[in-house]
Amino acid sequence: MLILLPPSESKTAPVSGDPVSLDTLSFPELTKDRDHLATTLARVSGQKNALSVLGVGESLATDVARNRELPTAPTAPALSVYSGVLYDALDADSLSGAAHEVAERSLMVISALWGAVRPSDHIPAYRLSMGTDLPRHGKLNTWWKPRLSPVLDRVATDQVIVDCRSAAYAAAWKAPAAETIAVRVEQLNEAGKRSVVSHNAKYTRGLVARFLCEYEAEHGAFETVHAVRDALSKRWRVELTEPTARKAGTLTVVLDPPTV
């Protein structure tokens, strides 16, 4: 099983730790691309128009300034650096030993700066989103796509893929359609009508990732998308749209009406 996650926009900056060592990160084939992008980001972040280029407001000026120190900034495991709603729900630190092992081999974060990282990869905090139009690079999801595809296509071979990414990050690498289900979250209201939700969707995707790691640790590896659906149906109301050779499937989690 491969669970694809987006990074969080917010990051928890490590207060101590060694600087990033690019050649020790997962997927070393991406080392040159990571080095190039980190150097470019540090330079852009020192420009007068840095906030505008990176698409952020004055409140994030400190985060942008931190980009200039990427080569020397302290690092921590990726799942400690990424924070926010999805990662709060995942709560990787509280996983059992067996579930933590599943998370280590199954979770993959698609990153605008690093391309793709695994949970234990040590990275510094940074500010860069996949939708950024970086000078002389264009949109980063377009820039990363030809670089990620040959690397991650090999990783994805014979894997059931659960895609919890947002659209911008999904565009950076198209997972093999026939084995992929994208997690969609809908909320019922009291009248029984559904709507797509944002905050609850992120939180629910974090819970889904956590549940699947725990379930595989107890019951063994998932062999099909149907097995993923059947497992999740033990906790949620779920609906599966079958994947095809050309189009990934969708697994919709339907949440009950919120309680008052």
pTM of the model: 0.95
Q: Would you say residue 192 has pLDDT above 80?
A: no
pLDDT tens sequence across 78-118: 999 999 999 999 999 999 999 999 999 999 999 999 999 99
The predicted structure's pLDDT at residue 259: 72
Q: Report residue 16 as tokens.
A: 């101590």
Total tally of structural domains belonging to the chain = 1
Task: Please check whether residue 156 is in contact with residue 61, taking contact to mean a CB–CB distance below 8 angstroms.
Answer: no
Rounded Cα–Cα distance for residues 12 and 35 (Å): 22
Which residues on neighbouring strands pair with residue 182, listed in sequence order? Answer: 163, 250
Burial 29-58 (b: 16+ CB within 10 A, else e): ebeebbeebbebbbebbeeeebbebbebee
pLDDT tens sequence across 202-260: 999 999 999 999 999 999 999 999 999 999 999 999 999 999 999 999 999 999 887 76
The predicted structure's pLDDT at residue 104: 97
The predicted structure's pLDDT at residue 228: 98
The predicted structure's pLDDT at residue 260: 61
Domain encompassing residue 205: 2-255
pLDDT band at residue 14 under the 50/70/90 scheme:
very high
Task: Please check whether residue 46 is in contact with residue 70, taking contact to mean a CB–CB distance below 8 angstroms.
Answer: no
The predicted structure's pLDDT at residue 10: 86
Nearest Cα to Cα of residue 7 among 147, 138, 169, 157: 169
Q: Is residue 85 part of a domain?
A: yes
pLDDT tens sequence across 136-182: 899 999 999 999 999 999 999 999 999 999 999 999 999 999 999 99
Q: E-strand spans in the chain?
A: 2-5, 76-77, 107-111, 115-117, 122-123, 133-134, 138-139, 161-163, 180-188, 194-196, 237-241, 249-255
Q: Is residue 260 part of a domain?
A: no
* CB neighbour class for 189 (10 Å; exposed up to 12, middle 13-18, buried from 19): exposed
Which residues on neighbouring strands pair with residue 134, listed in sequence order? Answer: 138
pLDDT tens sequence across 139-151: 999 999 999 999 9
Q: Would you say residue 194 has pLDDT above 90?
A: no
pLDDT tens sequence across 48-62: 999 999 999 999 999
